[in-house]
């Protein structure tokens, strides 16, 4: 029996072939310079000893396209919502290699990433294989379910194949058709209109995407809030006392007020008293919780926050680490580890490192904590974790080194005890007003010793106050402050907003941010140590123009439409809706929005002109 195995990337094909072939693998060239074919033997649990060829694709190999009569400039833009589409082979040499290798195969086994997109790419692989061998049918396909490249894990996946998830295939097909029809129609409309008014260069494209514009909308909304902000004065009472040579500041429990006269009245009452009274002392244990297991979104947010690394760079580095077998699959929504996780095995591999090895060894000798479980589980992959050890110096670049070290330290932190401290709060009564001061003593750092990115330190300790103690007020002042504007958007904040509003998936968030950056709808600005994202004049004009159209019950610059689509796609996966039903509903909404945009395109171009000239 001959089995054709196809992975999603060449590096995965090579790694899986070497594991299953036990090192006894013959490599052959293909017609594609990126693709190799690996021949070996493997004893499958379901089929016995088989001759195997392992090859791969490089992502999608088939794309949607219009027929020639509906290409750009050949038809009205609105026709794209209803015209026939065709599937074109996007990478002919890769497609032909699969067809050729399938011709003599008895079985097809898919080794694509275990997410929705991976299921659809698996379906594309089936189409290529079926062209070369009509005996290969959907019902006969094996599908390897794996999340990392550790040897025993891959062998288990080979011996316990599942079926291709055709409901996930249908969901991705629905999303792809929506994005293609909506994206091409609006993109042609915007591009031609902006070119006519010399608002973009003749070779530039003003693309529209159902995720791109809500992402841009978040940035524009924040920018407008910053620019329209008007500072407002407020007043508060500030108190200091001196004891045992230590000066302690107390904060007014009422915060602040915008009514100066009201605060002045309260302050004048306080001034009648030279002493205050410690009316309450409270000391209690406090805990700084260790982090939850790592998801893709958290990885991107933290890399942006700690390393000033873009979401795309972080995901690219994680992908390379995964392809090389160092970490688990980095595209996951799951923030928990499976009960079968071999924690001690991972500690054993990491104890050789000079930076965190002694900490890993302590977890081995003293015992580890079971990680906290989050509330998310995508049923496809566990939370991101290290699989094999690699010396940082052996990695290709700084991005990979930072991401790998972060993943390891986060994993060790998850398996550690929470940090423990003692918090002390003193309440001072001066006149009729109450003020508080707090101090923190960190007693056990625990996970903080390995998770170096988070700070939790002892504060200046309070003097030894006693309840009922009378203490002289050394300074009591009424002070004025002003409200401050919000900061512009950071990439970490943007990722969190996109995730919370269902804009893109954990795997595509980085792509959407990168796309609007490439289109020059946004720019990144560095202010001190921080980097902010602001809209360009073009980006601002497009959002302002669409917002002025006032569509009925919808917005093309807000996240609601895309969020509803994502929910409907999950309904297809769950089997409660079918693709045709979801597509028809979504298409009708966007078709009406396009018709209104087409009729009022001058409103959009006017807004862009107003800002750009």
d(CA 242, CA 192): 71
* pLDDT tens, residue by residue, 209-245: 999 999 999 999 999 999 999 999 999 999 999 998 8
Backbone φ and ψ of 213, nearest 5°: -75, -40
d(CA 323, CA 329): 9
For 150, half-sphere exposure in the C-beta direction (CA atoms, 13 angstrom radius) is 18
Q: Which CATH class is domain 2-164?
A: alpha beta
CATH superfamily to which 169-228+488-612 belongs: Topoisomerase I, domain 2 (1.10.460.10)
> Which residues are annotated as catalytic?
329
* pLDDT tens, residue by residue, 413-472: 999 999 999 999 999 999 999 999 999 999 999 999 999 999 999 988 889 899 999 999
Phi-psi region of 570 (alpha: psi -120 to 50; beta: other; left: phi over 0): alpha
Give the CATH fold of the 296-414 domain: Topoisomerase I; domain 4 (1.10.290)
For 112, half-sphere exposure in the C-beta direction (CA atoms, 13 angstrom radius) is 26
Give me the architecture of the 233-287+423-453+464-482 domain, per CATH: Distorted Sandwich (2.70)
Tell the residue number behind the tokens 């006017």, with chain if given.
606
pLDDT for position 227:
96
Residues across the chain = 613
Number of neighbouring beta carbons within 10 Å of residue 529: 6
d(CA 107, CA 126): 11
Tell the residue number behind the tokens 């939370």, with chain if given.
383
Residues of the chain with pLDDT under 70: none
Backbone φ and ψ of 224, nearest 5°: -65, -35
Domain residue spans of the chain: 2-164, 169-228+488-612, 233-287+423-453+464-482, 296-414
pLDDT for position 608:
95
297 contacts 512 by C-beta, under 8 angstroms = no
pLDDT for position 379:
75
Residue 360, token pair as written in the block: 């890993």
CA dihedral 574, 575, 578, 581 (to 10 degrees): -70
d(CA 212, CA 220): 12
| CA separation, residue 361 to residues 150, 181, 356, 391 (Å) | 21, 55, 9, 17
């Amino acid at each position: 029996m001959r089995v054709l195995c196809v992975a999603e990337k060449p590096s995965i094909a090579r790694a899986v072939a070497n594991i299953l072939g036990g090192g006894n693998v013959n490599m052959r060239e293909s017609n594609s310079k990126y693709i190799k074919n690996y021949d070996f033997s493997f004893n499958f649990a379901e089929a016995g000893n088989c001759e195997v060829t392992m090859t791969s694709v490089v992502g999608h190999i088939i794309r949607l396209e219009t027929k020639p009569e509906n290409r750009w400039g050949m038809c009205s833009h609105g026709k794209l919502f209803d015209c026939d589409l065709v599937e074109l082979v996007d990478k002919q040499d890769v497609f032909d290699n699969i067809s050729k290798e399938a011709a003599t195969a008895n079985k097809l086994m898919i080794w694509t990433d275990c997410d929705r997109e991976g299921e659809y790419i698996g379906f594309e692989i089936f189409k290529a294989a079926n062209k070369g061998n009509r005996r290969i049918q959907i019902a006969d396909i094996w599908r390897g379910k794996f999340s990392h490249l550790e040897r025993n894990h891959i062998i288990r996946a080979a011996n316990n194949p599942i079926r291709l998830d055709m409901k996930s295939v249908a969901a991705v097909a629905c999303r792809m058709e929506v994005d293609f029809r909506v994206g091409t129609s609006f993109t042609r409309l915007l591009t031609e209109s902006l070119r006519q008014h010399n608002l973009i260069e003749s070779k530039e494209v003003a693309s529209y995407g159902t995720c791109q514009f809500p992402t841009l909308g978040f940035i524009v909304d924040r920018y407008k809030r910053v620019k329209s902000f008007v500072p407002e004065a407020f007043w508060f009472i500030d108190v200091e006392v001196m004891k045992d040579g230590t000066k302690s500041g107390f904060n007014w429990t009422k915060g602040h007020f915008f009514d100066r006269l009201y605060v002045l009245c309260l302050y004048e009452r306080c001034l009648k008293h030279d002493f205050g009274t410690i009316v309450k002392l409270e000391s209690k244990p406090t805990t700084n919780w260790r982090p939850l297991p790592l998801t893709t979104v958290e990885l991107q947010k933290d890399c942006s926050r700690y390393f000033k690394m873009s979401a795309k760079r972080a995901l690219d580095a994680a992908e390379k680490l995964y392809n090389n077998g160092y970490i688990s699959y980095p595209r996951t929504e799951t923030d928990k580890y499976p009960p079968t996780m071999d924690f001690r095995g991972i500690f054993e591999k990491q104890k050789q490192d000079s930076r965190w090895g002694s900490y890993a060894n302590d977890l081995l000798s003293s015992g580890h904590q079971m990680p906290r479980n989050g509330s998310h589980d995508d049923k496809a992959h566990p939370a991101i974790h290290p699989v094999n050890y690699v010396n940082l110096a052996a990695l290709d670049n700084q991005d990979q080194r930072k991401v790998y070290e972060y993943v390891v330290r986060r994993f060790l932190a998850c398996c550690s005890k929470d940090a423990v401290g003692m918090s002390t709060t003193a309440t001072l009564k001066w006149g009729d007003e109450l003020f508080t001061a707090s101090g923190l003593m960190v007693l056990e750092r625990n996970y903080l010793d390995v998770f170096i990115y988070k700070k939790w330190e002892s504060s200046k300790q309070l003097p030894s106050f006693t309840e009922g103690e009378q203490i002289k007020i050394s300074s009591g002042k009424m002070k004025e402050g002003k409200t401050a504007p919000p900061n512009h958007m950071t990439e970490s904040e943007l990722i969190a907003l996109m995730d919370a509003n269902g804009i893109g998936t954990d795997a595509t968030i980085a792509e959407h941010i990168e796309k609007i950056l490439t289109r020059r709808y946004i720019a990144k600005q560095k202010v001190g140590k921080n980097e902010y994202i602001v809209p360009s004049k073009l980006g601002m004009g497009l959002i302002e123009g669409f917002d002025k159209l006032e569509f009925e019950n919808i917005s093309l610059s807000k996240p609601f439409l895309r969020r509803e689509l994502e929910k409907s796609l999950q309904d297809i996966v769950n089997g409660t809706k079918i693709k045709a039903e979801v597509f028809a509903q979504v298409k009708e909404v966007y078709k009406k929005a396009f018709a209104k945009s087409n009729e009022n395109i001058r409103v959009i171009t006017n807004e862009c002109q107003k800002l750009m000239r």
